[in-house]
Amino acid sequence: MTPVEPPESEFVDRMGLVMERLGGTRTMGRLYAWLMICDPPDRSLTDLAAELDVSKTAVSTVARQLEVGGMIERVPTSSREHRYRMTGGGWAQVMQVQLAGVRMSLDTLDFGLSILAEGLPERRARVEDTREFFAFILRDSEEMLQRWEEYRKESS
């Protein structure tokens, strides 16, 4: 187990705040940050709990959430011990999950437009404006993710 040095601890804590601002939990950000910089790059739940000074239950819960989100993965081991490491492309996966929510919003807004009579231009305009915003975000984000994948291929 590697002791967390003060500058590393500050980075881990700052990433906790970043993740919190993005809608996750502070522990989620701290765990993800530590997996970015720890050496070796994989850790057991026991190690993570000790290094981050968090309960093993909290680490286990957050690790499962990050794993489902595609940001970390379980490392195969010969024992029953759960070990985790960060995955490449995790943030792009998070973006894909968010875009699925945007797609659902578009469906809901389309339904909203279908129930509003043509004779209600002010009400329709508010829904149409919101729908166009989400449609723009979706189109622009999908193009951005394609450019990101091309960028990653070129720089590797």
The number of angstroms, rounded, from the C-alpha of 104 to the middle of its chain's C-alpha atoms is 18
Cα-flanking dihedrals φ and ψ of residue 31, to 5°? Answer: -65, -45
For position 2, what pLDDT does the model report?
A: 66
pLDDT over 90, % of the chain: 70
**Measured on CA atoms in the order 88, 92, 98, 103, is the torsion positive or negative?**
negative
Based on the fold, state whether residues 50 and 81 are members of the same structural domain: yes
How far apart are the C-alpha atoms of 8 and 81, rounded to whole Å? 25
Domain count of the chain? 2
The model's confidence at residue 1, banded by pLDDT at 50, 70 and 90, is low
The model's confidence at residue 137, banded by pLDDT at 50, 70 and 90, is very high
Asked if residue 108 has pLDDT above 80, the reply is: yes
Q: Among candidates 10, 153, 16, 23, which has minimal Cα distance to 95?
A: 23
pTM: 0.76
How far apart are the C-alpha atoms of 145 and 126, rounded to whole Å? 29
Based on the fold, state whether residues 61 and 18 are members of the same structural domain: yes
For 38-57, what is each residue's pLDDT tens digit? 999 999 999 999 999 999 99
Average pLDDT, integer, range 74-80: 88
Based on the fold, state whether residues 67 and 103 are members of the same structural domain: no
